[in-house]
Amino acid sequence: MVAVTGNGTVEASLAAFDAWREASRMRRRGLIEAWLWQLGAAREDLARLLTQETGKPITLARGEVGRAEATLRATAEALGTFGEEAVPYDLMAGAEGCRAVLRRFPVGPVLAITPFNFPVNLAVHKLGPALAAGCSVIWKPCPQAPGTSARLWETFEAARRQVEAPEGLLQLADPDPAAAEALARDLRIAAVSFTGSERVGRHLEQVLAGKRLLLELGGNGAVVVDEGVDAAAVARAVAPAAVAGAGQSCSKAQRIYVHQALWDSFAAAFVAAVKALPVGDPMDPATVVGPLIDEATARRMDAGLDRAVAAGAEVLLRGSRQGALLPPAILAGLPEDDPFQCEEAFSPITVLTPVASFEEGLDRAATTRYGLRASAYSRDQRHLRLAETKLRAGGVLLNLPPTFRLDAAPFGGVRASGNGFEGPRWAMEGFTEGRLIVEGPAL
C-alpha cells in the first residue's frame, strides 16, 4: 500500500489543485471516463480482494464494484450540466441589460475518509465527484482493506497517467486515525468528507469547527408494515435488507414494525425468508450472509444477544457463532430503549415489533435520533403519503426496502445520520462554492 503522511501530502495536493482547478469540464470528464475504463478492467481483481479482506460475499463484492462503475458513469454524466446556472437578473427594476450566472468553483484540497463496509463504492462516491468538481483529494481509506484500497488507487493512477492529469491529484494516505485527524486539522485542507460512525463524526464536528465538513453517519433503519399487504412478499423483499453482507450497512432494516393483524403471518414468513438466505463461506457465489468484519465484533454482538435474551427478548431465530461468522438473529419483545432498538446494530440482528395501527408504527419508527433511511409498505395511498411526512429520514422508501439505492440519486441523512446528500450531482455541490457573477451593460 502506498502511504503518504505529513506536510508534503498537503503541499502536493495544493500543487495538484492549482494545476487542476481550471481544467475544462471536458478534461475532467475525460479523467473520470478513463478511470471508469480502468476500474472495469480490474473488476474481478478488486472484487476478490474485497472479499478476502472484509469477508463480504463474493457476489455482493462483484455487485459493489459494478455499482462503483455506475457511480463513475453518473459522475461523468453530471458534468454535462453541472457548474453554471443562468439567473434572470433583469427581472428586477433597474437591471435591464444585466446578465447573471451562478458559477460553482472547487473549494480546494479535500480529505476523504471512507469505511470498511463498502470500501470501493463509498470511496468512489467521494473521490469521483471531488475530482470532477476540480478538487484535489487526499484519501484516507479504512485500515481493514489495504489491498483493496491500493488496487483502487492504482486504477485511478493508470487513468491519471493516461490523460496526463497532474501528479498528486489523488493521494492515498496513511489509514491511521491520528494521522487522518492531523490532516483534517490542517488549515490548507478546504473540506473533509467522512463516512463512518456517529461517534467519530461528532468528534470531527468539535475539532473542525468552521471547516466544511460533509458527514454520512450511522443509521437505525425502520420498516413499517401495514395490514392488507402480502406478508410473505414483503418478508422476502425485506429479509436481504436486514442480513445481506452480515447486515453491515448503515441503511439496513433493523427495526420492523408490523400491524398486529399481520403479526403471525409476517413473523413466520420473515423467519423463513431469512433462513432461506445462504450463510457461510464468502467466496461461495451462493452465500448472502458472510462473516462480520472481525471476530471481536462478532463476539460483541453475540454477547448483546445474550443480554437481550436475559432481559426477556423472545428469540425467533438465532444460530451459534463460529469465529467472525454470526448467523442472522431475529428478536421480538424488546422495549424501545433497548440498544438493538435505539442504536445502530451493524450486524445481522433484526427486531420485530407488533403495533396496533400503521400510524403507531410510523410514530415508533420515528422515535430515534437517527435519520438515514426508513421504509413503509402499504396498499393505502393515504398511508403512504402519511409515511412521507412522519418518517424523518433523508431517504423514505415506499413499498421498497431501506437498502434500495440508485447510485446516481441523492443519498444522505438528517439528525444523527449526517448532513447533506451524496450521489455524484449532489456531492459535487459539497465540493464547490457558489459565486454569483453579474454583468451590467457597458458604460
Q: Which of 216, 336, 342, 359 is catalytic?
A: 216
Domain contains 409 = no
Is residue 24 pLDDT above 60, yes or no?
yes
pLDDT in tens, 5-20: 445 689 999 999 999 9
Domain contains 408 = no
* Domain match, 301 and 427 both: no
- The CATH number linked to 154 is 3.40.605.10
* Domain match, 106 and 228 both: no
pLDDT in tens, 38-60: 999 999 999 999 999 999 999 99
Beta bridge partners of 226: none
* Domain match, 209 and 64 both: yes
How high does pLDDT run on average in the chain?
95
Q: Compute the average pLDDT of residues 215-233.
A: 97
The helix (H) or strand (E) run that includes residue 349 is strand 349-355
Q: In what order do the strands lie in the sheet with 432-439?
A: 84-87, 99-106, 432-439
pLDDT in tens, 82-126: 999 999 998 989 899 999 999 999 999 999 999 999 999 999 999
Q: CA 333 to CA 186: how far, in whole Å?
A: 49
Domain contains 335 = yes
* Domain match, 156 and 300 both: no
Q: Compute the average pLDDT of residues 260-265.
A: 98
Q: Tell the residue number behind the cell numbers 487526499, with chain if given.
A: 138
The pLDDT of residue 248: 97
325 — pLDDT class (breaks 50, 70, 90): very high
CB half-sphere exposure, 238, CA atoms < 13 A: 34
Give the helix, strand, coil percentages of the chain, each rounded to 5.
45, 20, 35
Q: Tell the residue number behind the cell numbers 479535500, with chain if given.
A: 110
In sequence order, the 6+-apart residues with CB closer than 8 A to the CB of 11 are: none
Phi and psi angles of residue 65, each rounded to the nearest 5 degrees, phi first: -65, -40
Structural domain total, the chain: 2
Domain contains 429 = yes
* Domain match, 68 and 183 both: yes
Q: CA 431 to CA 443: how far, in whole Å?
A: 37
Nearest to 114 by CA among 160, 67, 180: 180
Phi and psi angles of residue 354, each rounded to the nearest 5 degrees, phi first: -80, 145
* Domain match, 230 and 158 both: no
* Domain match, 184 and 61 both: yes
The pLDDT of residue 176: 86
Q: Tell the residue number behind the cell numbers 462478532, with chain if given.
A: 298
Q: Comparing 72-86, 168-182, 386-400, 425-439, which segment has the lowest mean pLDDT?
A: 168-182
pTM: 0.94
Domain contains 264 = yes
Q: CA 113 to CA 215: how far, in whole Å?
A: 10
The pLDDT of residue 92: 86
pLDDT in tens, 131-188: 999 999 999 999 999 999 999 999 999 999 999 999 999 999 988 888 899 999 999 9
The helix (H) or strand (E) run that includes residue 294 is none
Domain contains 371 = yes
- The CATH number linked to 315 is 3.40.309.10
* Domain match, 200 and 261 both: no
Q: Which of 157, 181, 250, 344 is catalytic?
A: 250
The pLDDT of residue 393: 96
The pLDDT of residue 6: 43
Could you tell me if 128 and 71 are in contact, meaning their C-beta atoms sit under 8 angstroms apart?
Answer: yes
Structural domain harbouring 186: 7-217+418-439
The pLDDT of residue 3: 41
Residue 250 annotated to the active site: yes
Could you tell me if 28 and 82 are in contact, meaning their C-beta atoms sit under 8 angstroms apart?
Answer: no
Q: CA 4 to CA 309: how far, in whole Å?
A: 47
Could you tell me if 235 and 389 are in contact, meaning their C-beta atoms sit under 8 angstroms apart?
Answer: no
* Domain match, 12 and 126 both: yes
The pLDDT of residue 175: 84
Domain contains 406 = no
* Domain match, 211 and 279 both: no
pLDDT in tens, 274-293: 999 999 999 999 999 999 99
DSSP codes, 154-215: HHHHHHHHHHTPPTTSEEEBP--HHHHHHHHH-TT--EEEEES-HHHHHHHHHHTTTSEEEE
Residue 388 annotated to the active site: no
* Domain match, 184 and 200 both: yes
Domain contains 2 = no
* Domain match, 74 and 93 both: yes
The pLDDT of residue 273: 98
Q: What percent of the chain has pLDDT over 90?
A: 94
307 — pLDDT class (breaks 50, 70, 90): very high
Distances from the Cα of 121 to the Cα of 50, 111, 232, 306, angstroms: 11, 17, 31, 34
